[in-house]
Amino acid sequence: MYFIKFSSIVTPKVICIFVLFILFSCEDPPQDNRKAFQAVLNHFQDPKDSLKLKAAYYLIDNINNHYYHEIIPRRKWEKILDYSDSLIEVEEENYIPKMNEIFNSQGKFTFKKELDDQTISSEDLIINIDLAFKVWNKPWNKHVDFEAFCEFILPYRTKNEPIDISLRSKYLENLSNKLNDSLKFSDILNIVNSFSTYPDHNLITLIPADLSIEDIKKGRMTTCIGESNMVNFKARAIGIPTATDFTIWPNSSGNHYWSVIPYDKDSILYADKDFFFGSPGSYKLRNKIAKIYRYMYSTQEQTSELRIQEKENKTFLQNPNLMDVTSQYIETTDINMDLYNYEGKNFTNAYLCIFNNKKWNPIAFSKVINNKITFNNVGRECIFLIAYLEDNKFIPASNPFSIDKSGEISKYIADESHKRQIHLTRKTKLIKKVIGFGNTLRGAIFQLSKTSDFKNPINIYEISSEDTIVKPREIDLNLDEKYRYARVINDNDVPMHLAEMQLYLKDNKKIKGYIIADEDTPSKNILDDDFLSYATIENHNNNQSWIGLDFGKEHFVDKLLLAPRSDVNYVKPGDTYELLYWDNKWISLGKKIASSYYLDFDEVPDNALLWLSNLSEGVEEELFIYKDNRQHFWNLTDI
């Protein structure tokens, strides 16, 4: 730390007395930037700039934890950005596979860490401060005090994106026409949401570094991190306070970053509308949450001691700029628990872990006191494990446990004396979105015809208006005649989402053909044997919509296989699965190749925490327990 923190009540006169002491105390910064920081402080010595001087100290005092990564070689990265832009321009259907292919063809990239306290110029800091003050104390941010201004409007970066201060001026000029003194909060939300312009299929992770705003614009590709950085940069340029919050999904895979509009450091006004519904503090969630953190510009002193102890352990929790904001979003529970005692070991910290990406991952840490630990403000309806960390390996410190909707804790200890047979159909929970995809096929009729106009078709299968299909369905046919054409037709108002439509001969051989449809550019996805790809069949002008196959010649059709759009997390025939249970480590209950859309396992301990792993394919896998003769997953939501 190069600079001494000061209270918000310190006057500019007192600050000036400390300037020389501060600049040469502690570990001296690099010579060039010591002069740059001094130039910034000198620039704001006029008494009328007293708040700007305090803002300058704020930025400089907290600068040493901030950085970005330079992508090397830049020339090859530019080529990838250009390629992305060209694919998006022609609306390439296989955008992500093609982007991965071009990225892998460019060879190895390296990432040079560039520290802000060694690279930022005095000119950039001065311009940034002036521009930030230009948009403060406006009708749309009159609630923002100086402390919140310093955190949510003043900073020149949100996270670790490369910075370009000139963009702040450019966005202020280009976006200021969106603002006026009569704006309501709903208008502010519409403005911020308009900054998020990249569709889901452009969200792609190629490198482990935040992209610059200019790179995002040039390649028209990003991640949710880049999306949030861009939204925040534009919003702050016109004086809308924003920050980036993130979570690691519990009992799932991946994470999510989003832009938030804080009221102050202790409360929020608005968060990502795609994931949070209702009111801050009691949001309904699209995904259950265990912890939410916010990237702050300032160092968070309340956790500095623990973070010093944590510096030897390589987890995201080392970041000194993270602030726990979970309770600003949802109802939470404080966990107080006794821990395992390992003889000869003296652990000072322990970690609260969730199951993510097929392993236990830390999301919080706290001090161990007399073999007990407390974790505050923890999300509910999730499964947890507390663990010690030694030599970068996690050692169980508790039994796994869950927190229910009311905050009650339940522990899961495998009962080896009581075992049973269990019937499994999925490796993750069945979410409402997948159910919704299946429901789009309600009323669909599958037909065969001898002619392409389907003048006299026969109906071979109809999905009732009460039926919900969430996995492939096979229908045996007993037909006396040959047919050349097949289709699925529906006159519902909503588009159909169909992953596969396959027809088979008696020897179980798939009938080949090509796609026909009632539109100009039919999707080939229903014939690609990829159950994750799908076709969306729109209803054109309130007429019946359909998509089908031309076999090229007539066949005796013996079987229909239909598959709705899905996450393909059901038990899939032909794939190999392993069932495991937790007893201070994962213990296998055996491997099986699925012959249908379910698996049965014997001799499974009661009250065991279970994990069905697909060894053949897939990423998403979730823990569950088995009770009432069915699987119970966590992270089920109301949305």
- Supply the DSSP string of 574-619, one letter for each residue: T-EEEEEEESSSEEEEEEEE-SSS-EEEEEEEET--EEEEESSS-S
Please report the pLDDT score of residue 639 as a whole number. 40
**CA-based nearest residue to 229, from 247, 251, 211:** 211
Q: Is the pLDDT of residue 9 over 90?
A: no
Residue of higher predicted confidence among 581 and 490: 581
Please report the pLDDT score of residue 6 as a whole number. 34
**CA-based nearest residue to 340, from 403, 390, 387:** 387
How would you classify the pairing of strands 359-367 and 393-396?
A: unpaired
Please report the pLDDT score of residue 632 as a whole number. 95
Please report the pLDDT score of residue 7 as a whole number. 35
Enter the tokens of residue 383: 């499964």
Mean pLDDT of 455-460: 95
Beta bridge partners of 68: 114
Whole-angstrom Cα distance, residue 552 to residue 568? 30
Please report the pLDDT score of residue 280 as a whole number. 79
Of 221-225, 341-345, 486-490, give the range with the top mean pLDDT.
486-490
Please report the pLDDT score of residue 410 as a whole number. 95
Q: Where are the beta strands (DSSP E) in 452-595?
A: 458-462, 473-476, 483-490, 496-504, 514-517, 535-537, 545-555, 559-564, 576-582, 586-593
**In contact, 386 and 395? CB cutoff 8 Å:** no
Whole-angstrom Cα distance, residue 260 to residue 435? 30
Q: pLDDT tens for residues 491-521?
A: 778 889 999 999 999 999 999 999 998 766 5
**In contact, 151 and 264? CB cutoff 8 Å:** no
Q: pLDDT tens for residues 527-541?
A: 889 999 898 888 765
Please report the pLDDT score of residue 2 as a whole number. 35
Q: pLDDT tens for residues 356-403?
A: 999 999 999 999 999 999 999 999 999 999 999 888 889 999 999 999
Residue with token string 């080392």? 318
Percent of the chain past pLDDT 90, that is, above it, reads 66
Q: Tally Cβ neighbours within 10 Å of residue 408.
A: 10
Pick the range with the lowest mean pLDDT from 25-39, 160-174, 440-454, 577-591.
25-39
pTM: 0.87
Q: Tally Cβ neighbours within 10 Å of residue 605.
A: 21
Q: Is the pLDDT of residue 4 over 70?
A: no
Q: pLDDT tens for residues 560-614?
A: 999 999 999 999 999 999 999 999 999 999 999 999 999 999 999 999 999 999 9
Whole-angstrom Cα distance, residue 251 to residue 248? 9
Q: pLDDT tens for residues 56-72?
A: 999 999 998 899 999 99
Pick the range with the lowest mean pLDDT from 205-209, 434-438, 594-598.
205-209
Q: Is the pLDDT of residue 30 over 80?
A: no
Mean pLDDT of 417-443: 94
Please report the pLDDT score of residue 324 as a whole number. 95
Q: Burial-class residue 200 by CB neighbours within 10 Å (0-12, 13-18, 19+).
A: exposed
Whole-angstrom Cα distance, residue 153 to residue 533? 42
Mean pLDDT of 428-446: 93
Whole-angstrom Cα distance, residue 171 to residue 153? 14
